[in-house]
Amino acid sequence: MTKKLTVPDIMAMKVRGEKITMMTAYDYPTGLLVEKAGIDTILVGDSLGMTVLGYNSTVPVTVDEMIHHTKAVRRGARNTFIVADMPFGSYNAGIPQAIANASRFLKEGGADAVKLEGGTEMADVVEAAVKAGIPVLGHIGLTPQTVTQLGGYKVQGRDEEKAKKLVEDALALSRAGAFAVVLECIPKNLAKEITERIPIPTIGIGAGPFCDGQVLVYNDVVGLFEKFTPKFVKRYAELGEAALKGLMKYNQEVKEGTFPDAEHSFD
């Protein structure tokens, strides 16, 4: 069994030039699988709102729902560094609200850290959380909780002014004490510049190969989410197809009376 990573371990990986892997997980069996695969860190992302709860966006997800799923993932992945996503509205009403909610993820959910979206404007919240002993992963670029304000799921930081703002955001999060920052859906050379300019690791999703680490959504990676597949997703398995085939066969065999057979019955 490998040793569970700590915040300094993750930060030291950047210094050594060792890539950091992160995968989302939302339940006990996926926690088990991701840990068994040897992936460095798990994100209990609020993407679960869309991938497992069937909402149209991440906005309706609540703190209680996130904690429920974080606890399940922790039961499956007892030895992996887990980051839990703070959902929309749970950290934007001031520092006391943010700290109270963030603490619940560590105390009740069993998470090691929380993630929240936003750059410069969130730096005071990040700083307060870190001072309160709560490790924080930042998230800039395409921030799904504010996708309507951003004009949809599209690449961010394409023009010079917006690129400059993203560099400032990353620097502000780093200064505020975030231990790493997710860069979502930005041009690869901008991700490279940010990665070179900040001392903390960058974890990319749709941000090219120059980030210090990568994260993807489990359901996208294993073929369990069909609604839409962004260009940056690579499918490594087709579990959805395999499950459908199995379920159809079961349905057929019960209907025609070939299941249960002697092998699956008691004398």
Residues lying near ligand KIV in the complex (CB under 6 A) are found at: 24, 43, 45-47, 85, 139, 182, 184, 205, 215, 217
Q: Are 186 and 156 in contact (CB under 8 A)?
A: yes
For the CB of residue 266, give the shortest distance to ligand KIV in the complex, in Å: 44
For the CB of residue 61, give the shortest distance to ligand KIV in the complex, in Å: 9
Residues 6+ apart with CB under 8 A from 101: 63, 86, 90, 91
Residue 16's CB is within 10 A of a number of other CB atoms, namely 7
For residue 189, give both structure tokens: 């050379």
What's at 87, amino acid-wise?
P
For the CB of residue 24, give the shortest distance to ligand KIV in the complex, in Å: 5
Which residue's CB atom is positioned nearest to ligand KIV?
A: 45
Beta strands 20-24 and 202-205, pairing class: unpaired
What's the Cα-to-Cα distance from 190 to each of 87, 118, 173, 185, 207, rounded to whole Å? 27, 17, 16, 10, 8
Q: Which is nearer to ligand KIV, 16 or 121 (CB)?
A: 121
Q: Which is nearer to ligand KIV, 230 or 240 (CB)?
A: 230
Q: Which is nearer to ligand KIV, 23 or 163 (CB)?
A: 23
What's at 25, amino acid-wise?
A
Handedness of CA 194, 196, 197, 200 (dihedral sign): positive
For the CB of residue 155, give the shortest distance to ligand KIV in the complex, in Å: 14
Q: Which residue out of 184, 226, 241, 253 is catalytically annotated?
A: 184
For residue 69, give both structure tokens: 């799923």
Residue 200's CB is within 10 A of a number of other CB atoms, namely 22
For the CB of residue 144, give the shortest distance to ligand KIV in the complex, in Å: 6
Q: Are 190 and 170 in contact (CB under 8 A)?
A: no
Cα 183 from Cα 58, distance rounded (Å): 18
Cα 221 from Cα 230, distance rounded (Å): 11
Q: Which is nearer to ligand KIV, 147 or 259 (CB)?
A: 147
> Position of tokens 């069996």?
29
- Is 184 in the active site? yes
Q: Which is nearer to ligand KIV, 104 or 139 (CB)?
A: 139
Q: Which is nearer to ligand KIV, 45 or 177 (CB)?
A: 45
For the CB of residue 259, give the shortest distance to ligand KIV in the complex, in Å: 38
Residue of 131, 38, 145 whose CA lies nearest to 90: 145
Q: Report, as residue numbers or ranges, the catalytic residues.
A: 184
